[in-house]
Amino acid sequence: MPERSESDSRKLLRRLRDMLSVPGKGQDRLDQITHLIADSMKTEVCSIYLFRDPETLELCATEGLRKESVHQTRMKLGEGLVGRVARLGQPVNTANAPAEKGFRYMPETGEEIYSSFLGVPIQRVGEKLGVLVVQSKTARQFSEDEIYALDVVAMVLAEMTELGAFIGDDGAMKALHKQPVLFRGSSGQEGAAEGRVWLHEPRVVVTNPVADDPLTEIDRIRAAVGELRVSIDDLLEAEQLDKDQKQVLEAYRMFAHSRGWLRRMEEDIMRGLSAEAAVEKEQSAARSRMEQVPDQYLRERLQDLDDLSNRLLRILTGQGKDTGAEMPENPVLVARNIGPAELLDYGRKLKGVVLEEGSVGSHAAIVARALAIPLVINASRVTSEALNGDPILVDGDQGIVHLRPEETVARAFRDKIAMQAEAQKRYASLRDLPATTTCGTTIALHMNAGLMADLPSLEGSGADGVGLFRTELQFLIRSKMPQRAELARLYARVMDAAKGKRVAFRTLDIGSDKVLPYMKPPEEPNPAMGWRAVRVGLDKPGVMRMQVQALIRAAAGRPLTIMFPLITEFSEFQAARAHVLRELHRERSLGHPVPERIEIGAMLETPSLAYAPRAFFELTDFISVGGNDLKQFFFAADRENELVRRRYDTLNLSFLAFLEQIVARCAETGTPLSFCGEDAGRPIEALALAAIGFRALSMRPASVGPVKALLRRVNLSEARAVIDRARAEGAESARPLLMDWLATQSGT
């Protein structure tokens, strides 16, 4: 790279920085920038196009094109050469723009006399802000040095944008982290919350994108990379790392020792960027490549480079995870992802959680449900946009997040929260009343739990007991296998807190999306249908034996209820039940107290178990239909797949007919039956389940009130008749007719 071009690039960046340091209106600054760049690069035209919405670019400033086209010329993402740059996040360089495929002629700009075109994206760590363009009458290809120089200028423009350099009275350019943003994700846990952002890993804000002394910056980047390499080597020497963790760190080490990575950053610095801005430029390039790479393995490797860049930025700036900032009032946690133990550390102080990744069955979702915290998952790029302290609204019902909302949106949201609070007051008045319908049928309403923190909800919600206590959470939040005595103490405290009400302990349900940090999962093409739940317990009898012993000792003579997850055939239940009976015999022979009464049940989560021999229904003490898994297997719709998980209706008449078969088989043998899962906590679904014969439902604590309120107002015989009418009419779902019928019911 010639020294002259390096000096010219640094000179341009310094002129740009000096110009931006003078107070001015946003539009004036943009106009000055286009003039400065055109002058420095000896081109007739320089234009800045910015996103007005995620799909639309607008010409916001120009030197050389007609001024009247500013704020009038717009194009869609991917439209024309400018739209192509924005969509791909890559430069477009051509000597004959009109001849390029996809060229769009915009007569209002007067650009027909310009042949050469160079456009580069204005982006910061993957955030696409717009496109920077230079054009010339002379037909020529721009050189690599010119492309590089314009790319670096675009990088600095993006950095200055974050610092609010283009915000003036006219609001010509939207500043990052200043404007309202709507994120559409997925619901991980229902509920609504208003609060302030608390970033799990605060973003690094670069305040010095332009270098004064390139050699000093080179020394800084080399020292920081050296420190990064040492820290990774230290982590790799840790004895407690499993194979997967070591593989990730090995990938980190490979990138950290990459000569190409360091060389590119040093070249960026010699072009005029500071060390921090050079890191972010390479990080932005990695993000752009990530969006274009279809191969999952390569995407994960680019993700490693992205994470490594964040580590390097924290070293350079001294901005560690603990920035010293105080958690705001009503904090809403925002993170790319988070483990169950880390989320539990925050506890109930959080008003809500927003994640870029995650799934409805993830550890974080399970903990959020246990803590009754609204959760939105798959909120793409939220960590890039949010800053600590930003106002935020979390709509867990719709899977929507409003960041820095406008006041009209905030007022409407507060009205929604107030209405929900008023409804909760009405439900509280029903707390001590049974869920008895107008036809005299009483439905037992139980709650789901998994933490000690859930148990106070047992009394407050008015639930009749705990229909499902998830024991795997105590395994998931630890770095090593819990001890028997430790589990026994926990289970005893759960029984104590239940104050004599029935608690159904589900044995360890791991596998699929629930992976223990200290147990390497097998590589499976479809984990949801693989080695999980009771299958793990039967193949690793030591773990099952330890947990059953802990449960027996926790009972200390009190009644005990144990149920096994994902039983698919009679022999599995027989084998699992035999484990419990053996441990009962062993504890009795040791002189330890055994439960005065024990129930051993099964979760019916696969269609196969509905057709098990009659002997199974006679042997099991109770059956709990695990609605979440059963529905996904019935419809062949993965509940972790956002494309299909909401596609199929619980009130589909085929599914209801299948559930009626289970009700009938349990009635023949007098086997107690309940329905457990998300659908049990939705009032309309709960009504339908009660109408077809379920007399016990288990749900999250917050759902007990709404379900009880509806059940106490309806006649189940009439509801059943509506379902039968829908079937007779050949409907696919009973929902429309049930909704119409409910609308005619007094007080519903």
C-beta atoms surrounding 626 within 10 Å: 26
Tokens for 25, please give them: 């209106």
As a whole number of angstroms, the distance between CA 672 and CA 667 comes to: 8
| 506 conformational bin, left if phi > 0, alpha if psi -120 to 50, beta if neither | beta
As a whole number of angstroms, the distance between CA 199 and CA 409 comes to: 23
β-bridge partners, 62: 47
Tokens for 431, please give them: 């707390």
Torsion (CA) 662, 664, 667, 672 in degrees, nearest 10: 20
C-beta atoms surrounding 343 within 10 Å: 26
| Cα distances (Å, whole numbers) of residue 314 to 99, 212, 321, 323 | 46, 21, 8, 10
| Entry field: residues in the chain | 748
The dihedral sign for the CA sequence 176, 321, 212, 154: negative
CA-wise closest residue to 561 among 590, 596, 531: 596
Name, in order, each residue with C-beta under 8 angstroms of 435's C-beta and a sequence gap of 6 or more. 442, 443, 444, 445, 707, 708, 711, 712
The dihedral sign for the CA sequence 247, 253, 256, 259: negative
Whether the Cβ atoms of residue 202 and residue 282 lie closer than 8 Å to each other: no
| Cα distances (Å, whole numbers) of residue 597 to 316, 502, 552, 594 | 63, 12, 11, 8
To which residue do tokens 């070249």 refer? 267
As a whole number of angstroms, the distance between CA 637 and CA 630 comes to: 10
As a whole number of angstroms, the distance between CA 57 and CA 403 comes to: 22
Q: Which of 363, 402, 446, 579 is catalytic?
A: 363
Helix (H) or strand (E) holding 4: helix 3-20
Q: Where are the alpha helices (DSSP H) in 237-321?
A: 243-256, 259-270, 275-292, 296-317
- Indicate the DSSP class of residue 376: E
To which residue do tokens 């020529």 refer? 140
CA-wise closest residue to 349 among 472, 490, 196: 196
Helix axis angle, 214-236 to 275-292, nearest 10°: 60
Whether the Cβ atoms of residue 162 and residue 177 lie closer than 8 Å to each other: yes
Q: Tell me which amino acid residue 605 is.
A: E
The dihedral sign for the CA sequence 337, 340, 341, 346: positive
Note if 363 is an active site residue. Answer: yes
Whether the Cβ atoms of residue 133 and residue 83 lie closer than 8 Å to each other: no
Beta strands in 384-502 (DSSP E): 391-395, 400-403, 435-436, 442-449, 466-470
Note if 676 is an active site residue. Answer: yes
Q: Where are the alpha helices (DSSP H) in 50-101?
A: 80-88
CA-wise closest residue to 382 among 339, 338, 334: 334
Q: Which of 46, 60, 666, 676 is catalytic?
A: 676
Catalytically active residues, by annotation: 363, 676
